[in-house]
Amino acid sequence: MLVNLNEVLIPAKKNHYAVGLFNAVNLELARGILAAAESTGSPVIMGTAEVLFPYGPLEEVSYYLLPMAKKSHVPVVIHLDHGLRKETCLKALELGFSSIMYDCSTDPYEENVKKVKEMADIAHSYGATIEGELGHVGDNPDSAEAAGKEGAFDPAKYYTDPKVAKDYVDKTGVDALAIAVGNAHGAYKFPPKLDFERIRTIAQTVDVPLVLHGGSGLSDNDFRQAIKEGIAKVNIFTDINVAAVKAEFERFSSMDKGLIDLIPAAVEAVKQEAVKKMELFSSTGKAGSYVAGMLREKNVDSETIVKAVASEVIKELKAHGVIK
Ligand SMILES: [Zn+2]
């Protein structure tokens, strides 16, 4: 089922686990990610980012992501990661994305607040959620985000200030907040050092779920600690991107092979890598509790559910000519 960020992140924050965002710029990635979520009963966030549009245009990506989410039996958020322009965010909402990120983190503070507040009102009018970023998550060299930028990035210069975070969330109305705590996009050249105390302080200061970008390359202990301190959404791309190509490389043994020989290997590798992350974030098995919680919230009693299921079964039996 297609849901928004609040529907998966509020329970995650409350119960101290995190839901992964995995970008799915082609069908192999999308199939691998969804297979991981369905086989582990995990809620999941799939999407794409504006810097990834050259590899899969937003509209084309929406043609498979949205139906896949709607058909799935686990909660799936279709999210635009790092929308950089207002028009991109509006297009994603118009296409039916259930969530967007409007990244104005390189703008001056007041400008970031003004632009994101305006977009938050629009997103909410669509029933969609919005993520903002405060401080700035930088880019490791060779990451998609770093394309065209010069020099090494020093994350310590752009840390999120907990006091400003509260003001930012209050003024913009964002549903989730991406924070800069020593993390960066892409593959790390040196082991990153996360500021866990800062995560804890921000989590105590603001009500909304916190987001950790640049998750690929962090150690398992980094993730566990970050989630314990208050991270409820983790963005992963590099690890699944690399896993797919490694599997294709291993499968490619001669020029007699075609693309269809490589596709199943890529899907399986993405699935395995995503399952590892879902287990690490403890989101596995949480899809069922989401559905149960939703039924409780809507005051749906068990008799109504049994009747609804029975009527579906009867329809199926009739369709197959088992009964008239
Ligand atoms: Zn990011």
Q: Encode pLDDT of 93-132 as tens digits.
A: 999 999 999 999 999 999 999 999 999 999 999 999 999 9
Q: Pick from 149, 123, 130: which is nearest to 51 by CA? A: 149
**Fold category of 2-284 in CATH:** TIM Barrel (3.20.20)
Highest mean pLDDT (candidates 80-84, 238-242, 320-324): 80-84
Residues annotated catalytic, as ranges? 81
> Is the confidence at residue 153, as pLDDT, over 60?
no
pLDDT of residue 152: 53
Q: Span 227-253, mean pLDDT?
A: 93
Residue-averaged pLDDT of the chain: 90
Structure-derived torsion over alpha carbons of residues 29, 275, 98, 187, reported in degrees to the nearest 10 = -60
> Is the confidence at residue 67, as pLDDT, over 70?
yes
pLDDT of residue 179: 95
* Residue 38 vs residue 298, higher pLDDT: 38
Confidence band for 25, pLDDT divided at 50, 70 and 90: very high
Confidence band for 144, pLDDT divided at 50, 70 and 90: low
Q: Where are the domains of the chain?
A: 2-284, 285-324
pLDDT of residue 78: 98
Q: Span 139-164, mean pLDDT?
A: 70
Are the beta carbons of 287 and 41 closer than 8 angstroms?
yes
Please give the structure tokens belonging to residue 115. 């632009």
256: Cα separation from own chain's centroid: 37
| Helical pair 220-229 and 259-281, crossing angle rounded to 10 deg | 50
pLDDT of residue 149: 56
* Residue 184 vs residue 49, higher pLDDT: 49
∠155-157-162 over CA atoms, to 5°? 95
Q: Span 37-42, mean pLDDT?
A: 97
Confidence band for 181, pLDDT divided at 50, 70 and 90: very high
Q: How far apart are the CA of 313 and the centre of ligand 1, in A? A: 44
pLDDT of residue 51: 96
Please give the structure tokens belonging to residue 164. 């400003």
Q: Give the predicted TM-score (pTM) of the model.
A: 0.87
Q: How far apart are the CA of 19 and the centre of ligand 1, in A? A: 15
| Spatial distance between the Cα atoms of 174 and 100, rounded to a whole number of angstroms | 10
∠3-9-13 over CA atoms, to 5°? 160
DSSP H or E segment with residue 131: strand 129-134
Q: How far apart are the CA of 214 and the centre of ligand 1, in A? A: 6
Q: How far apart are the CA of 165 and the centre of ligand 1, in A? A: 17
281: Cα separation from own chain's centroid: 13
